[in-house]
Chain A
Amino acid sequence: MTQTATTFRRMKDLPSTHLLGTGTPMCAGCGGLEALHQIYDVLGEKTVFVNAAGCMTLLSVYPFTPFRGSWLYTAMASAPAGAQGIRDALDILREKKGLPPEEDLEVVVLTGDGAAYGMGLSATSGAMERDLDFIYICYDNEGYGNTGQQYSGATPHAARTATSKGAHGFAGYKKDLFSIWAAHRPTYVATVIGAEPLDLARKIETARDLEGPRLIIALAPCPTGWDYDPRESVAIGKLAVRTGVWPLKEYRDGRIQHTRVPRERVPVEEYLKKQGRFAHLFEPERDETLLQELQAKVDAYWDSVEVQGG
């Protein structure tokens, strides 16, 4: 893997002033907003955000916006198509109207997992097929957060959602969006999380300095949808990584690299225990079968990573 020199070598190198405006209507403790403010600090203000319907639509409610550049709202399935329109317009301005390169903007799609893993997948596939020069940020709160946490294609097995309330929670399995995206062979795909800011900053820096389709999935602990005290957002995010539930990795030049391999993985139940959406796995009695199944899936993932050597 070609390791480009990074400005983010230590935590100290992270930005100490923040570009994204405060005063947004996201929930107190929102893990998606945490990731977004870190991402925005690295991408900078020469960006246009294209936002599909979801929690983050509420960032820019007239007459307020936390962004320093433009923002466009699209229907849930069509943010990558909106990005294509903006990219084309910018290209025309550059070619025909003499827009100087330093005034060019980076087009950034911002959607939840409902759009990214489901409704918007076809539009994203098309954008990659056309080799669109854009960045896609999916904040993955594992459900339709804005409308009350119904399940989505990103909901993990056994989680309780507004539409999976039975004794065993959600019967389906989280889609592997990273692999689906990487199978299109775009320029760059990465997973990040706000609880690991250095890893996040390096990956956003990498994405920023490349061209073509660059897609990022940020696991977004969601106090409201996952049912935990907002103060736990970062602790839960760190556990997602240390238990191996959320592998931090990147795809580039046809290869997948894990940027953090938790050598001694914390048992998955430490992560599950902290969230009300998994409470039925522990009360009124432990659901040994489901707990073992969830652990086994994570173990199998990391076994296969070791076989592939990284």
Chain B
Amino acid sequence: MYRIRFHGRGGQGMKTASRILGSAFFEAGYEVQDAPRYGAERRGAPIFAYVRAAREPINERGIIQRPDLVIVADDTLVAVPAAGVLAGVSARSVLLINSRDAAEVWRHRLNIDGPIVTLPVNTGVEDRAELPWIGASCAGAAARLVGVLPRQALVHAIETELGGLGDDVVGHNLENALAAWELMAPQYGLASEGGEPRAQEYQRPDWADLAFETARISAPTIYAAANSVEVRTGLWRTLRPVIDYSRCNRCWWVCSTFCPDGAISVDKDGQPRIDYDHCKGCMVCVAQCPPHAIAAVPEHQAQAEEAQPADIPGDPP
């Protein structure tokens, strides 16, 4: 059985990607399961989708613990613990990362032995309008990596799954999916079917047993005020708003009021301050700032700049 796990962010079309791949397998005569996992998080947050495909009826259910192929639509997720990109990855799992960095860089970074393939499409997310198209590229690449799907099954799957959205959408998705399909030609068949799990290999999930308790304990109450700040939604961001204080008019009531998350506060000098631990990167402030003093910088670029040692004039080299 093939066990394939997709990782992306809400809005990047991972659910659609899993459906396209699932339908392509189905076209090719496989038994298929494809399902996204719905969590409490939304657009921008880590999203999961799963595809199982086998020649025999599938009795396995639930999330995929030991993937044969992991597809990562957004490489910034690798560092996000909640995304669990590397969960259950073994030496034979293929990792397909949509990234501008080379596979070797990732191998070094992650220190893993298994095969890593990179797919450089729309990385950096400078233009979010391109985001929803990543899903089709991922599905196309995955279809080639498994090595058992004819090109026509992929084409058909896209036409079936997206037909309702009109010819333009189907055309654009086909183009992206087939480009990724071509790109993966050298890795044709790299991802192989995993065997059936054996009882001896069963490992107890690492969860805690909870005793049956009274309602007061089992339906707990939160006593803390506004403790949601403990959740770092800043990790959802793919674009970072950066204020150029030399152009800022200090009309803080614009950005600070419009920020949906209330992540812009005002310091005592009337300057707006963005809380990057919580800014989700919606870019409403960028769109609304009257003197255009806020720029949208791709998160990977902003992080790279932060990692550079600061250039202090006069300092010895």
A contacts, CB < 8 Å to B: 11-12, 14-31, 33-34, 37-38, 45, 55, 58-69, 165, 194-195, 197, 223-224, 229-235, 280, 283-284
Instruction: Decide if A16 touches B265 in the complex (CB within 8 Å).
Output: yes
Instruction: Decide if A24 touches B228 in the complex (CB within 8 Å).
Output: yes
Complex interface: stretch among B147-155, B184-192, B275-283: B275-283
Which of B222, B256, B282, B288 sits near A65, CB closer than 8 Å?
Answer: B222
- Supposing A194-B258, A231-B283 touch, asked if A22 and B275 sit within 8 A by C-beta, the answer is yes
Which of B228, B263, B277, B284 sits near A230, CB closer than 8 Å?
Answer: B284
Give the distance to chain B from A264, nearest Cβ to Cβ, in Å.
21
Which chain B residue shows the least CB distance to A35?
Answer: B260
Which of B228, B251, B263, B282 sits near A233, CB closer than 8 Å?
Answer: B282
Determine the distance from Cα of A232 to Cα of B43 in the docked complex, in whole angstroms.
14
Q: A29-B280, A33-B260 are in contact. List 6 more A-B contacts (CB 8 A).
A: A19-B226, A21-B227, A37-B261, A67-B225, A283-B166, A284-B167
- Supposing A23-B230, A197-B257, A233-B282 touch, asked if A224 and B40 sit within 8 A by C-beta, the answer is no
Which of B42, B262, B288 sits near A25, CB closer than 8 Å?
Answer: B42
B contacts, CB < 8 Å to A: 10-11, 40-45, 128-129, 164, 166-168, 220, 222, 224-233, 236-237, 251-254, 256-263, 265-266, 275, 277-278, 280-284, 286-288, 296
- Supposing A11-B253, A66-B226, A231-B282 touch, asked if A16 and B266 sit within 8 A by C-beta, the answer is yes
Instruction: Decide if A22 touches B257 in the complex (CB within 8 Å).
Output: no
Instruction: Decide if B229 touches A62 in the complex (CB within 8 Å).
Output: no
Determine the distance from Cα of A19 to Cα of B228 in the docked complex, in whole angstroms.
12
- Supposing A197-B257, A234-B284 touch, asked if A68 and B43 sit within 8 A by C-beta, the answer is no
Determine the distance from Cα of A38 to Cα of B256 in the docked complex, in whole angstroms.
10
Which chain B residue shows the least CB distance to A227?
Answer: B132
Determine the distance from Cα of A59 to Cα of B226 in the docked complex, in whole angstroms.
10
Determine the distance from Cα of A112 to Cα of B43 in the docked complex, in whole angstroms.
18
Instruction: Decide if A28 touches B227 in the complex (CB within 8 Å).
Output: no
Instruction: Decide if A224 touches B10 in the complex (CB within 8 Å).
Output: yes
Instruction: Decide if B42 touches A224 in the complex (CB within 8 Å).
Output: yes
Which chain B residue shows the least CB distance to A232?
Answer: B287
